[in-house]
A and B are shown apart, each in its own frame.
Chain A
Amino acid sequence: MQDGRVARRYAKALFGAAKGADLVRGVEEDLDIIVKQMKLDPTFKHFILAPYMSREEKAKILTKIFSDRVTSLTMQALRVILDKGREAELEAIFHAYVALRRNDAGIVYATIHSAVLIDEAQKKSLIAALMKSLGKTVEAEFKIDTTLIGGVKVTYENFVLDGSALGAIEKMRERLRYDLLKQV
């Protein structure tokens, strides 16, 4: 079971060390590789979380797999996580680390839903417009949502910018209902 507080504590320690060593992005990419590997390969995930394998054995195997692909700081952090038996928190630690990195750099994370896949030029234009409007660097994740019919919907922090056809229809629906209720 994942514990947000524990993950944040590990992430905070790792982020501090990475920032000191100027390896913030590198460590994030390392963690991303490991978490993606866990998602893509159930055997690997089962191996990481297996309770019947000793921590030394897991550390030895992980060193063999990742020592030439990740930074030494990441490997060191992995060993500590294994030593403390917190391997189940790996994904949460990664997300907390990313949040800390964005918060530290003043980056806004936005999720952009579109009805169909939009091309790179439009993606760049969209991110640029958001950055201009927010006055901050924007990191965006693009997702497809066919229910939107057309257009895009941007979600960041506690805000939603709805430029979809479905949003326009819903807005019109709300407005019409409001007008109807006002007539009564």
Chain B
Amino acid sequence: MSESHHETKSGPFELIFNNLPVRTVLGLVLMFGGSYVSKNYQEVFEQISHQYGVPVDLGKTVATFGVFLIIFPLVNIFFIKPLADAIGERNSTLEQTFGEAEDLKVQMQKMRSEYEARLVETEADARQKIEAQIKEAQALRQTLMSEAAQRADELVARATQEIEAERNRVLTSIRTQVVDLALSAAEKVIAENMNTERNRKLVEDFISQVEVAR
């Protein structure tokens, strides 16, 4: 059905060129007819040549056309078809190459968009991490500063306490020395002023005030 449709669409020129017997017969007719015309009407052609300055031999031309029609299948087989195949192969290779290039382009664009998205994501992540690190560093700084301040306060308090303790110790030592000196002086004075009567009085006082630890 498709063939008949094809046939109906093709014109007389395609019918001649696609049908080998018709083409061969037509070629033979043209070849012999042309040779006949060339041989029998040569004077007419020479007159035209002299008149217009153009050497024309219509019979030879028609004969050549007939020969062409006869040898067309050979030309087709050995020249046109391989050339058409090569061109088709070349075209398909080019199409494939263009397709691959297109695919690569699409892939590249996809990769680029992915890369850009990833870059954005990485940048955001990096920014977030940097901000987190900054916050952490600030918190650490705050902690260290507060610890340092606390430690400094403690040191100051301890130093104050130690100074106070040392001051008290020195004061106590001085006072104790003063007491010892005063009592040593008192002891000397008492010893120098002690006599039998005073000693007797001391013993009597002891006797009268004796207390027993019982």
- The chain A residues found within 8 Å of chain B, CB to CB, are 114-116, 118, 122, 125-126, 129-130, 133-134, 149-152, 154, 159, 161, 163-166, 169, 172-173, 176-177, 180-181, 184
B77 within 8 A of A: no
What is the size, in residues, of chain B's interface with A at 8 Å between Cβ atoms? 30
**Given A180-B176, A184-B168, A163 and B183 contact (CB-CB distance below 8 Å):** no
**Given A173-B179, A180-B175, A180-B176, A151 and B186 contact (CB-CB distance below 8 Å):** no
Q: How far is the CA of A101 from the CA of B172 in the complex (A)?
A: 51
**Given A133-B210, A163-B205, A184-B171, A149 and B191 contact (CB-CB distance below 8 Å):** yes
Q: How far is the CA of A133 from the CA of B207 in the complex (A)?
A: 10
Q: How far is the CA of A176 from the CA of B171 in the complex (A)?
A: 14
Are B199 and A115 neighbours in the complex by a CB distance under 8 Å? Answer: yes
Q: How far is the CA of A149 from the CA of B199 in the complex (A)?
A: 9
Q: Closest CB-CB distance, A15 to chain B, in whole Å?
A: 27
B198 within 8 A of A: yes
Are B172 and A149 neighbours in the complex by a CB distance under 8 Å? Answer: no
Within 8 A of A (CB), among B168-214: 168, 171-172, 175-176, 179-180, 183, 186-187, 190-191, 194, 196, 198-200, 202-214
Q: Closest CB-CB distance, A7 to chain B, in whole Å?
A: 29
Are A151 and B179 neighbours in the complex by a CB distance under 8 Å? Answer: no
Looking across the interface, which residue of chain B has its beta carbon closest to that of A126? B207
Q: Closest CB-CB distance, B202 to chain A, in whole Å?
A: 4
Are B179 and A129 neighbours in the complex by a CB distance under 8 Å? Answer: no
A-B contact pairs, 8 of them (CB 8 A): A118-B199, A122-B203, A126-B203, A133-B210, A161-B212, A165-B191, A169-B186, A184-B171
Q: Which residues of B contact A176 (CB under 8 A)?
A: 179, 183
Are A151 and B202 neighbours in the complex by a CB distance under 8 Å? Answer: yes
Q: Closest CB-CB distance, A173 to chain B, in whole Å?
A: 5
- The chain B residues found within 8 Å of chain A, CB to CB, are 168, 171-172, 175-176, 179-180, 183, 186-187, 190-191, 194, 196, 198-200, 202-214
Are A173 and B203 neighbours in the complex by a CB distance under 8 Å? Answer: no
Nearest 5 A-B pairs (CB), nearest first?
Answer: A163-B206, A151-B202, A133-B212, A184-B168, A150-B199
Q: How far is the CA of A133 from the CA of B206 in the complex (A)?
A: 13
Q: How far is the CA of A159 from the CA of B208 in the complex (A)?
A: 18
Looking across the interface, which residue of chain B has its beta carbon closest to that of A164? B202
Are A122 and B212 neighbours in the complex by a CB distance under 8 Å? Answer: no
Q: Closest CB-CB distance, B190 to chain A, in whole Å?
A: 5
Q: How far is the CA of A159 from the CA of B211 in the complex (A)?
A: 11
Looking across the interface, which residue of chain B has its beta carbon closest to that of A170? B183
Q: Closest CB-CB distance, B204 to chain A, in whole Å?
A: 7
**Given A149-B187, A149-B190, A150-B198, A184 and B172 contact (CB-CB distance below 8 Å):** yes
Q: Which residues of B contact A169 (CB under 8 A)?
A: 183, 186-187, 190
Q: Which residues of A contact B213 (CB under 8 A)?
A: 159, 161
Interface centre among B172, B191, B209, B210, by most chain A C-beta atoms within 10 angstroms, is B210
